[in-house]
Amino acid sequence: MPPPRVNKKPKNESTTNNNTGTLDDPLKFLDQDYQELKKSCIADQKRFVDDKFPPDSSSIDPKNKLKLDLDKIEWLRPSKIVSDPQLIVQGVSRFDYSQGSYLGNCWFLASVGALTFQKEIMDQVMPADQSFGKDYAGIFHFRFWRFGKWIDVVIDDKLPTIKGKLIFVHSKTSNEFWPALLEKAYAKVCGSYADMHAGRVSEALLDFTGGVHICLELEKPTIDVWSLMDRAAKNKALMACGSQQGVTCQEQPVRLVRVLNPWGRGEWNGAWSDNSSLWNKVSEKELAKCRSLANDGEFWMSMEDFTKNFEDIDICCLRPDFLDNSSKCIWTSTCYNSIWESGTTAGGCINNKDSFCTNPQFRVKIEALDEECASGQCPENILVSLMQIQENRYRSLVSNYSIGFDVYLIPPEMKDEKLPAKFFYRRRSVEGSGNFINTRHVMKFFKLEPGEYLIVPSTFNPNECAKFMLSIFTKTESHTRKKKPARTYV
């Protein structure tokens, strides 16, 4: 079968149709080859020291933003911290670790908590071919998805300590070190530990999966949030908040959401909290399955309280099937890599009508669905995702532009030509991302009637230069496409 329909490539659009940067063949971050480095260390009977992320203050806080006394920090290998270091002790769990006191990276640790629920994804991020046992050489590696490509990140196992105690994330089991090593690898990608300070959960969720991301506002959701969360859980998605099927209270179903505070402490004390009397109305079987009195940062809330107390929820899944999860429909995807260039393709938003047409333009055809597919669990049939590609090594120095996109219905008589300025003077967009936001990534999940549409991604102001990736996911009938959709890059 052919790949999802793609359109004529704009002149400025780059092609990424090769095998490098895949999970099977990830790019070597900073040109470091894990296998070669490990082999060299074993042959020379020495332990790896990473000169690309050295065990000194430049890797912790090069501009001293955290106000740490860097002279007190000693970099120690796990064998110098405990007598019997292990990478993993009795499996990985969201309860394995606690956040350090010096670094505000709860957005990252919340994503790690979600990651521990999904072994398949965890194994992608943390390859299994490493330990403190046989052939230990002080070297480890992790894999992250960054802006369309998977990268393999090598680190040594020297960790920052004060008086022999880890200063950043640390395990509750003293000889377990996967959380600290994972955090170090991600800090290396970000530039330093300090560059992990403050962020959005969606950033790490995407970097762990390279998957389909959706963010839903909970105050006035446009779709059934509970239904989507339930489908996402069944499809092994990562979520900022975990969910399961509702329990029953006095034989009536109750929709409950399980929430984990990444600090590892501090819990909800309202209805369905650990000590709530509502648990007395639940069967012993479901009580044993769900309720825990431990002060571990995990708690339950009703769906109603959840939507009142949280602003949004991020869901990230390897495949887009969870968007509808109907056996009659599948989701296909197309991904474009392109660029906004000053004076040529950086036309700014629709406020700049004369130059807006110079932005890269992308066409998508929405198919008419048969009744069974169209009457699935959600009416939405397209998800559009726009991400700025950041090239500065140091995350804190990245300057995001305010970005967004607009969607226009193309009249049948207008063929493959790039649409001129007069088109946008005469017509209003039928959909779009909404307000332009100064962030790495924006998305919108919505419904379009059958027809051909134009998607125009842009920065808010003209002449703002950046590379970007536009991903388009569309619903199609399952009998017309492959059962397992593949992402196509053009």
Active site includes 106?
yes
Residues 245 and 187 in one domain: no
Residues 466 and 348 in one domain: yes
Q: Is the dihedral of CA 269, 239, 113, 88 positive or negative?
A: positive
Residues 195 and 243 in one domain: no
Residues 373 and 427 in one domain: yes
Q: Which residues neighbour 267 within 8 Å (Cβ) at sequence distance 6 or greater?
A: 261, 273, 274, 295, 297, 298, 299
Decide which of 288, 315, 342 is a domain's last residue.
Answer: 315
**Secondary structure E strands in 105-187:** 139-146, 149-156, 159-162, 165-166, 170-171
Query: Is the distance from CB of 254 to CB of 248 less than 8 angstroms?
Result: yes
Looking up residue 409, the CATH number of its domain turns out to be 2.60.120.380
Residues 53 and 182 in one domain: yes
Residues 205 and 219 in one domain: no
Burial bucket for residue 342 (CB in 10 Å: 0-12, 13-18, 19+): exposed
**Which of helix, strand or coil describes residue 430?**
coil
Query: Is the distance from CB of 206 to CB of 442 less than 8 angstroms?
Result: no
| pTM, two decimal places | 0.81
Q: Which domain holds residue 265?
A: 212-315
Burial bucket for residue 7 (CB in 10 Å: 0-12, 13-18, 19+): middle
Q: Which of 106, 249, 290, 465 is catalytic?
A: 106
Query: Is the distance from CB of 231 to CB of 198 less than 8 angstroms?
Result: no
Asked, for residue 91, whether it belongs to a domain, the answer is: yes
Asked, for residue 17, whether it belongs to a domain, the answer is: no
CA distance 265 to 295: 6
pLDDT in tens, the chain (490 residues): 333 333 334 444 443 445 689 999 999 999 999 999 999 999 999 999 999 999 999 999 998 888 888 899 999 999 999 999 999 998 887 777 777 777 888 888 888 988 988 899 999 999 988 999 989 999 999 999 999 999 999 999 999 999 999 999 888 888 999 999 999 999 999 999 999 988 888 899 999 999 899 888 887 777 788 888 888 888 888 887 533 444 544 456 778 887 877 666 677 788 887 888 888 888 888 888 777 777 777 788 888 888 888 888 888 888 888 887 666 788 889 999 999 999 999 999 999 999 999 999 999 999 888 777 776 667 889 999 999 998 888 898 888 999 999 999 998 888 767 899 999 998 999 999 999 999 999 999 999 999 999 999 999 999 999 999 999 999 887 643 333 333 333 3
- As for how many domains the chain has, the answer is 3
Distances (CA, A) of 293 to 265, 279, 296, 459: 12, 11, 9, 49
Of 311, 297, 101, nearest to 201 by C-alpha is 311
**Residue 142's beta-bridge partner residues?**
153
Asked, for residue 395, whether it belongs to a domain, the answer is: yes
Q: Which of 41, 190, 215, 261 is catalytic?
A: 261
* DSSP string of 202-241, one letter each residue: HHHHHHHH--EEEEEESSS-SS-HHHHHHHHHHTT-EESS
